[in-house]
Amino acid sequence: MTVALQILFALFIIILLILFVFRPKRKPLFELPANYPDLLADYVPFYAALDEDSKKRFEDRFARFHAAVRITGANAEVEDLDRVLIGAAAIIPVFYIPDWDYVNLREVLLYPGRFNLDFEQGGPDRTVSGMVGNQHLEGVLLLSKWEMRQGFINPHSNRNVAVHEFVHLVDKMDGTLDGVPQILLERKYMDRWKALLEATANSIRNGESDIDAYGATSPVECFAVVSEYYFNQPELFKERHPELAEGLGRIYRSR
Ligand SMILES: [Zn+2]
């Protein structure tokens, strides 16, 4: 090889190295606000109750969620607190399930308040505060900012719309939204779980339960509503609904 060729070759390697070092970095979908552990501690009792090691694990899962899922305002300003609460609602149900990723979710759309089934934000029939999208909205979760915040701000509530919608995504991970997360529940427990949801819905209908009436709508809603209560008020739920708590503990690996 001539000296000229050697120099050319060396230059070529140097250029390759420079290109490698200065390659464009993939921009994360969400820069975590510096104070997000404080926001979690202030607004998310589930996080606040964890020990230090578990808090760190929660934060890692939270960051991974935000790196994968975009949060977009639909006429609503997405503030740091909203990002923190949405990320927390995503992680709470799956915190004890190793390596869980919401592969069926790419975007959360945040509406200012309730919307109707045509996603309109005006008019009298705005009854929806959260929804798992399907068809052209497959992979999208719709949430009302106002109701989402209420679920975290009121510590004595057994409702939390954001957790509710993420539970639907957990349910749907096996391909069907039916109240039975087949990925997480062993086959031998499935019939017992279905019967328990049915019995729970019946006791709500008969006015014998402190579980929200929306849980009586269908097994799908029953699973989501009892999960909200289980994560919002774990001690009270275990005391009043030991059989459901055992079933949910089995599903969420949180026993
Ligand atoms: Zn629902």
Q: What is the distance between the alpha carbons of residues 115 and 122, in angstroms, rounded to a whole number?
A: 7
Residues with beta carbon < 5 A to ion ligand 1?
221, 224
Distance 215 CA to ligand 1 centre (A): 9
Distance 224 CA to ligand 1 centre (A): 6
Q: What is the distance between the alpha carbons of residues 113 and 115, in angstroms, rounded to a whole number?
A: 7
Domain that includes residue 96, residue range? 28-156
Distance 30 CA to ligand 1 centre (A): 27
> Sorting pLDDT into bands at 50, 70 and 90, what band is 1?
low
Distance 109 CA to ligand 1 centre (A): 16
Give the predicted TM-score (pTM) of the model: 0.87
Report the amino acid identity of residue 83. R
Residue 37 sits in the same domain as residue 151 = yes
Per-residue pLDDT, 193:
98
Task: Give the other-Cβ count within 10 Å of 127's Cβ.
Answer: 9
Residue 142 sits in the same domain as residue 84 = yes
Task: Give the other-Cβ count within 10 Å of 237's Cβ.
Answer: 22
Query: Is 129 in contact with 143 (CB distance < 8 Å)?
Result: yes
Mean pLDDT of the 52-58 span: 96
Distance 6 CA to ligand 1 centre (A): 68
Q: What is the distance between the alpha carbons of residues 238 and 142, in angstroms, rounded to a whole number?
A: 30
DSSP β-bridge partners for residue 109: 72, 142
- Nearest 10 degrees: Cα torsion 47, 145, 86, 237: 50
Q: What is the distance between the alpha carbons of residues 255 and 249, in angstroms, rounded to a whole number?
A: 5
Q: Which residue spans within 43-201 are E strands per DSSP? A: 70-73, 107-111, 130-132, 140-144
- Do the domain assignments include residue 20? no
What SS3 class is residue 132?
A: strand
- Do the domain assignments include residue 233? yes
Distance 25 CA to ligand 1 centre (A): 38
Q: Is the pLDDT of residue 48 over 60?
A: yes
Residue (of 88, 112, 109) closest to 232 by Cα position: 88
- Do the domain assignments include residue 164? no
Distance 5 CA to ligand 1 centre (A): 69
Residues counted in the chain:
255
Question: Over the chain, what is the mean pLDDT?
Answer: 91
Distance 223 CA to ligand 1 centre (A): 9
How is residue 1 written in tokens?
């090889």
Domain boundary among 156, 187, 219: 156
Distance 164 CA to ligand 1 centre (A): 6
Residue 100 sits in the same domain as residue 69 = yes
- Do the domain assignments include residue 167? no
Distance 172 CA to ligand 1 centre (A): 12
Residue 142 sits in the same domain as residue 189 = no
Distance 13 CA to ligand 1 centre (A): 57
Q: Is the pLDDT of residue 86 over 90?
A: yes
